[in-house]
């Protein structure tokens, strides 16, 4: 275990995080949720869906013209008027081949725009200020890309000096409704449904699309209309007829967690009653009996669960209560956030997760971001409930209203050493969701988590980065290179070690990932091949890390061992030889150590592996690291523990393979040079190796003839060798 004296990490060391990581199933659930929300992600599939079903805005041609002339346009409109869809469709009409990505100048690095290929950048005006957005515009112009900015008229007012701001004149809502039905393959009967025109009077394109989606979901005309109206009239009638507060809490609780067993419904309702300070005399006997629960709620039973089958009905209950009872809003949020960890009410994990989802969605919709962040931290740090914290943060980190502030808090937690370990582990997994859309932002937070976290946090970061590499392979690899390079500039030894370790782990895992390679000019003909230049980049960054000092050196050595074992021994050996040949460079020592490590490997017949086979290396090429190792031994540093063992192994090779003996002996002579200390080291090792073994005597004498000093000893040896040869011994 590596020890460091310069930093104490309190958040990790004071908490046992065993069992407080997020399950894979829960991660997949939240990823699916995010991918299914167009406002959170902008995948190619989402773009294609928007463009295919797009009904042009009334001023579509004007928007395309401004975008074509200026490579930038800002579209103003109220929520639901289709500003984002119009922007995306305009750019796709103009440049069908150009990728489009969501971008945030507050968190993404504007400098990366110039380093990347031309691209379309979609920016939400509500998250920007004029200075940053102006810099972004200049970078986009320089890179030959396009900038799309969307927001309300008020949000765009501060950008009119340098952006062309156009209001979006949305298409007729009934046209959007019919286009959506056609896109989903719904028959003509619904396209001509008379009530649609009435319902869509003064509606936005988003509302028209929602009506079409309700039709696609199934149900009769009456249910579709009620669901579109949010079941307001029906709920107003139910709450009017059921004025008993206990019954109302039952309805709110059941609708919030359904489908759920009746025990959970009663428990949730009792919790809500406590939150609302409703006095219930008679305890459990005062509530509606279970036999009448379904009838009271207008719900059905599916096995042992209470279910609401009417489309959108359960979701509408909480919204109705929120809208019609404003004084109960804070109590509702408090109840939703407290119930998942209630010590009295036992709920299944799936119900606890659903409660957090409802809480996060409701709080986000009404801009209660601080409440979300406070509860997420509390669930992770105090209750060690990483799953609850994860759901809240994963569900809100890309939310169009509160996402920017959630991402800001994720960054703050990632750079604070005192952040509780469970929260660090949770933030790492949230970054997997965040990276679906903002990979640079996610990787920045993961970098800090790995730098200031312990080995368990680093392991979690590694898993998340590998998952992001499946989607963004080149971005992840280049970022890992940067992590390693910036490690050399960190003041703390622990921080240098941590960042170098996670960076190298990622590079070793990703350098030979097969990447898509296009054949000729046909974009349809793609094959998967590793990028050979990646290995060279990894070796270059390993050389740079050698300058970090003793704590990082074992990481570089282990990386070299891993690469060599993975089939890249020749490349690693060549790099080590080059490093050892540098005059007094920081990589000389690590190059020599890597060389000795590789030189110690043997073939099945006991020969040095690097001297055998089709990739065998010339012993003379190995002179630089041998010279460095001899110098260290002569100085008595004891730095290279493998030195004598490897040298004796090579002497064995010289004794058994006459074809390489001259080159090995010449290499030893050149490595020792005229330095008497180096020569003495070689001679001592050779004496111990040869002993009285006559089979080794020839090699011993070849070396002694070249290195023995002073001259009279050399002459005496030469005379003795000649006499022995004459006598045939």
What total number of domains does the chain contain?
A: 3
pLDDT at 517: 57
- What distance, in Å, lies between the first and last C-alpha atoms of the chain? 55
Residue 334: inside a domain:
yes
d(CA 676, CA 673): 8
Q: What is the CATH number of the domain that holds 89?
A: 3.40.50.300
Work out the pLDDT band at 701, boundaries 50, 70, 90: confident
Last residue of a domain, one of 111, 145, 167: 167
Burial tier of 141 (Cβ tally within 10 Å: 0-12, 13-18, 19+) = middle
pLDDT digit string (tens) for 414-449?
Answer: 999 999 999 999 999 999 999 988 888 999 999 999
Lowest mean pLDDT segment, chosen from 13-22, 281-290, 334-343, 452-461: 13-22
Whether the pLDDT of residue 718 is over 70: the answer is: no
Whether the pLDDT of residue 452 is over 60: the answer is: yes
Residues 222, 161 share a domain? no
Quick one: DSSP state of residue 23? P
d(CA 529, CA 515): 5
% of the chain at pLDDT higher than 90: 65
Of 227, 264, 265, 226, which is closest to residue 247 (Cα–Cα)? 265
Residues 341, 248 share a domain? yes
Residues 122, 211 share a domain? no
Residues 219, 135 share a domain? no
pLDDT at 526: 47
pLDDT at 346: 87
pLDDT at 38: 54
- C-alpha distances in angstroms, 180 versus 49, 53, 56, 205, 230? 10, 6, 13, 10, 20
Last residue of a domain, one of 135, 167, 199: 167
pLDDT at 639: 84
pLDDT digit string (tens) for 188-236?
Answer: 789 999 999 999 999 999 999 999 999 998 888 999 999 999 899 999 9
pLDDT digit string (tens) for 253-275?
Answer: 999 999 999 999 999 999 999 99
Whether the pLDDT of residue 592 is over 60: the answer is: yes
Whether the pLDDT of residue 717 is over 50: the answer is: no
User: When comparing pLDDT for 276 and 725, which is higher?
Assistant: 276
Lowest mean pLDDT segment, chosen from 531-535, 570-574, 709-713: 709-713
Q: What share of the chain is helix, strand, coil (3-state, %, to 5)?
A: 65, 5, 30
Residue 13: inside a domain:
no
Work out the pLDDT band at 117, boundaries 50, 70, 90: confident
Contact 394, 34 (CB under 8 A): yes
Residue 67: inside a domain:
yes
Residues 246, 215 share a domain? no
pLDDT at 66: 96
pLDDT at 52: 87
Mean pLDDT of 477-486: 95
d(CA 526, CA 369): 45
Mean pLDDT of 509-523: 69
Contact 64, 86 (CB under 8 A): no
Work out the pLDDT band at 31, boundaries 50, 70, 90: low
pTM score of the predicted model: 0.84
Whether the pLDDT of residue 479 is over 50: the answer is: yes
Burial tier of 524 (Cβ tally within 10 Å: 0-12, 13-18, 19+) = exposed
pLDDT at 709: 61
Work out the pLDDT band at 476, boundaries 50, 70, 90: very high
Work out the pLDDT band at 68, boundaries 50, 70, 90: very high
pLDDT at 365: 92
The overall average pLDDT reported for the chain is 88
Work out the pLDDT band at 544, boundaries 50, 70, 90: very high
Residues 302, 219 share a domain? no
Residues 157, 103 share a domain? yes
Where are the strands (E) in 141-285, listed by range? 146-151, 165-167, 260-261
Residue 71: inside a domain:
yes
Residue 653: inside a domain:
no
Q: What is the token pair recorded at 106?
A: 């507050």
- C-alpha distances in angstroms, 537 versus 116, 465, 543, 691? 18, 19, 10, 46
What range does the domain containing 71 cover? Answer: 56-167
Q: What is the token pair recorded at 91?
A: 């750019």
Residues 337, 248 share a domain? yes
H/E element, 527 = strand 522-529
Q: What is the token pair recorded at 188?
A: 């003509």
Work out the pLDDT band at 360, boundaries 50, 70, 90: very high
Exposure class string for 107-119: b at 16+ Cβ within 10 A, else e: bbebeebeeeeeb
pLDDT at 648: 95
Contact 395, 430 (CB under 8 A): no
Mean pLDDT of 624-653: 92
């Amino acid at each position: 275990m590596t020890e460091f004296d310069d930093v104490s990490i309190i958040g990790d060391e004071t908490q046992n995080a065993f069992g407080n990581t997020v399950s894979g199933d829960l991660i997949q659930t939240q990823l699916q949720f995010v991918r299914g929300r167009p406002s959170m992600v902008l995948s190619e599939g989402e773009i294609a869906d928007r463009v295919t079903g797009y009904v042009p805005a009334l001023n579509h041609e004007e928007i395309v013209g401004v975008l074509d002339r200026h490579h930038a346009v800002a579209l103003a409109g109220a929520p639901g008027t289709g500003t984002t869809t119009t922007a995306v469709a305009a750019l796709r009409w103009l440049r069908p081949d150009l990728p489009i990505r969501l971008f945030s100048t507050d968190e993404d690095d504007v400098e990366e725009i110039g380093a990347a290929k031309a691209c379309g950048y979609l920016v939400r005006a509500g998250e920007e200020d004029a200075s940053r957005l102006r810099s972004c515009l200049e970078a986009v112009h320089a890179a030959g890309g396009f900038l799309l900015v969307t927001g309300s008229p008020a949000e765009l007012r501060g950008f009119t000096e340098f952006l062309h701001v156009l209001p979006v004149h949305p298409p007729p809502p009934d046209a959007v409704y019919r286009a959506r039905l056609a896109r989903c393959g719904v028959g003509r009967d619904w396209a001509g449904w008379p009530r649609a025109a009435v319902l869509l009077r003064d509606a936005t394109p988003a509302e028209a699309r929602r009506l079409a989606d309700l039709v696609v979901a199934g149900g009769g005309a009456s249910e579709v209309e009620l669901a579109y109206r949010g079941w307001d009239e029906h709920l107003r009638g139910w709450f009017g007829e059921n004025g008993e507060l206990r019954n109302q809490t039952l309805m709110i609780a059941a609708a919030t967690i359904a489908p759920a067993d009746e025990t959970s419904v009663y428990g949730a309702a009792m919790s809500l009653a406590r939150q609302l300070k409703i006095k219930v005399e008679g305890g459990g006997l005062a509530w509606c009996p279970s036999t009448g629960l379904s009838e009271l709620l207008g719900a059905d039973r599916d096995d042992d669960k209470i279910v609401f089958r009417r489309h959108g009905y359960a979701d509408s209950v909480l919204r109705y209560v929120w809208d019609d009872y404003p004084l109960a809003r804070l109590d509702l949020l408090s109840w939703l956030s407290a119930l998942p960890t209630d010590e009295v009410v036992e709920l299944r994990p799936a119900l606890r997760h659903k409660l957090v989802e409802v809480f996060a969605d409701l709080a986000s919709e009404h801009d209660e971001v601080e409440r979300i962040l406070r509860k997420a931290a509390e669930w992770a740090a105090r209750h060690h409930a990483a799953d609850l914290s994860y759901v809240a943060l994963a569900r809100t980190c890309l939310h169009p209203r509160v996402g920017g502030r959630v991402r800001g808090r994720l960054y703050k937690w990632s750079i604070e050493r005192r952040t509780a370990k469970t929260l660090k582990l949770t933030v790492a997994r949230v970054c997997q969701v965040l990276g679906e859309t903002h990979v640079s932002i996610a990787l920045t937070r993961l970098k800090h988590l790995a730098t200031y976290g312990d080995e368990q946090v680093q392991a979690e970061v590694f898993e998340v980065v590998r998952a992001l590499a499946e989607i963004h392979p080149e971005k992840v690899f280049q970022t890992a290179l940067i992590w390693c390079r910036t490690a050399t500039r960190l003041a703390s030894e622990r921080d240098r070690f941590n960042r170098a370790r996670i960076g190298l782990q990622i590079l070793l895992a990703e350098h030979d990932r097969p990447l898509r390679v296009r054949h000729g000019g046909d974009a349809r003909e793609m094959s998967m091949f590793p990028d050979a230049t990646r290995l060279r980049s990894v070796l270059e960054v390993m050389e740079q890390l050698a300058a970090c000092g003793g704590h990082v050196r074992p990481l570089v050595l282990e990386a070299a061992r891993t690469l060599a074992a993975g089939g890249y021994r020749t490349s690693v050996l060549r790099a080590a030889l080059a490093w050892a040949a540098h005059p007094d460079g920081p990589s000389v020592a690590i190059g020599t150590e890597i060389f000795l490590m590789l030189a110690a490997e043997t073939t099945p017949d006991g020969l040095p592996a690097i001297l055998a086979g089709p990739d065998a290396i010339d012993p003379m090429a190995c002179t630089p690291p041998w010279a460095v190792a001899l110098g260290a031994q002569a100085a008595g540093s004891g730095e290279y523990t493998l030195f004598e063992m490897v040298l004796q192994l090579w002497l064995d090779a010289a004794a058994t393979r006459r074809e390489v003996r001259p080159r090995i002996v010449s290499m030893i002579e050149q490595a020792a040079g005229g330095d008497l200390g180096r020569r003495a080291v070689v001679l001592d090792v050779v004496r111990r190796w040869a002993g009285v073994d006559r089979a080794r005597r020839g090699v011993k004498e070849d070396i002694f003839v070249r290195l023995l000093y002073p001259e009279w000893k050399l002459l005496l040896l030469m005379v003795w060798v000649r006499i022995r040869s004459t006598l045939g011994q």
